[in-house]
Amino acid sequence: MNDFMEKYSDEELIARFQQGDEYAFEEIVHRFKDRLKNFVYRYLSNEEAAEDVVQDTFLRVYQKKHMYRNIAKFSTWIYTIAGNLAKTELRKKKRRKMFSLSNLGLEDKEYEIPSEEFAPEEDVEGEYTEQEIQDAINELSDKFKTVIILRDIQELSYEEISNIIDVPVGTVKSRINRGRIKLQEKLRHLRTPKAERTS
């Protein structure tokens, strides 16, 4: 990686790339690949599909670099692309799941419901396993899931989220609050009683 690229802002990098500087693109990939992978993975909960979506996101950036206008933050633009591609992938995944369920015999349904793909269980500090938390996120409806991941996992500002999902900041705040409440409802039953925790 070219160290001299580190001094540039994201917006300066895309401007340089628009003028043909390929090193600027490499720096963009370096800066965003893990962030986007984390975002898309939490959305799809599938390692391979998430990586493909991130690759497709960078390909879009590469091909459509001139579509970016310096009126929004570059991160907003790239997250919007990744989010849209992830949504499309999730729809495909749901269709595939429905198709595979509809093709099962009645006697098979009890045993062969396709499970979500997960990496081996990783320890999460606290009361829940990673899978339990991911399950709770997966159960959220799309509009809550998106804002929760962008805010609480990607740690983006309300304004950025508002630009990415194209809804007013007030609506974003309200959705985040409601999404968190839904999430705590889903996780609450997994919590050990207070008495056990304190003993």
Partner 1 sequence: MNCSEFEARLSDYVDGDISPHLRKRFLQHKEFCPDCDELLEDFKSALFAIHSLPRKKTSPDFNRRLYERIDQLEEKSIWQKFLGIVPEHLFPRYAIAMAFATIALLIGLNTIQETGDSIAEPDQPVLPPPSLNVPQQVLISNQPGLLQTPITMESDTDDTNRIMPVQEGRSFEGQIRYVNGQ
- Tokens for 106, please give them: 């009645």
- Contacts with partner 1 by CB under 8 A: the residue count is 41
Site of tokens 């499309």? 88
Q: How far is the CB of 177 from partner 1 (least distance, A)?
A: 4
192: region left, alpha or beta (phi > 0 left; psi from -120 to 50 alpha): beta
Answer for which of 17, 58, 68, 77 binds partner 1 (CB under 8 A) is: 58
User: Could you tell me the CA-to-CA distances from 41 to 1, 49, 116 in Å, in that order?
Assistant: 25, 8, 12
- The H helix count followed by the E strand count for the chain is 10, 0
Q: Restricting to residues 68-87, which ones interact with partner 1 according to CB under 8 A? A: none
> How many CB atoms are closer than 10 A to CB 199?
7
DSSP state of 7: G
Answer for which of 82, 137, 156, 161 binds partner 1 (CB under 8 A) is: 137
Contact letters (x/-) for partner 1, 4-33, by CB under 8 A? -------------------------x---x
User: Could you tell me the CA-to-CA distances from 56 to 75, 81, 88, 140 in Å, in that order?
Assistant: 16, 9, 12, 25
The verdict on 51 binding partner 1 (CB under 8 A) reads: yes
Segment interacting with partner 1, rule: CB under 8 A, options 13-21, 49-57, 64-72, 159-167: 49-57
Output 105 or 193, the one with its CB closest to partner 1.
Answer: 193
Residue 72: partners with Cβ closer than 8 Å, 6 or more residues away: 163
User: Could you tell me the CA-to-CA distances from 92 to 7, 77, 89, 102 in Å, in that order?
Assistant: 40, 23, 5, 15
Q: Restricting to residues 170-199, which ones interact with partner 1 according to CB under 8 A? A: 173, 176-177, 180-181, 183-185, 187-188, 191
The verdict on 122 binding partner 1 (CB under 8 A) reads: yes
Output 26 or 72, the one with its CB closest to partner 1.
Answer: 26
The verdict on 50 binding partner 1 (CB under 8 A) reads: yes
The verdict on 131 binding partner 1 (CB under 8 A) reads: no
Backbone phi, psi, residue 48, to 5°: -70, -45
Residues in touch with partner 1 (CB under 8 A): 29, 33-34, 37-38, 41-42, 47, 50-51, 54-55, 58-59, 62-63, 122, 124-128, 130, 133-134, 136-137, 148, 152-153, 173, 176-177, 180-181, 183-185, 187-188, 191
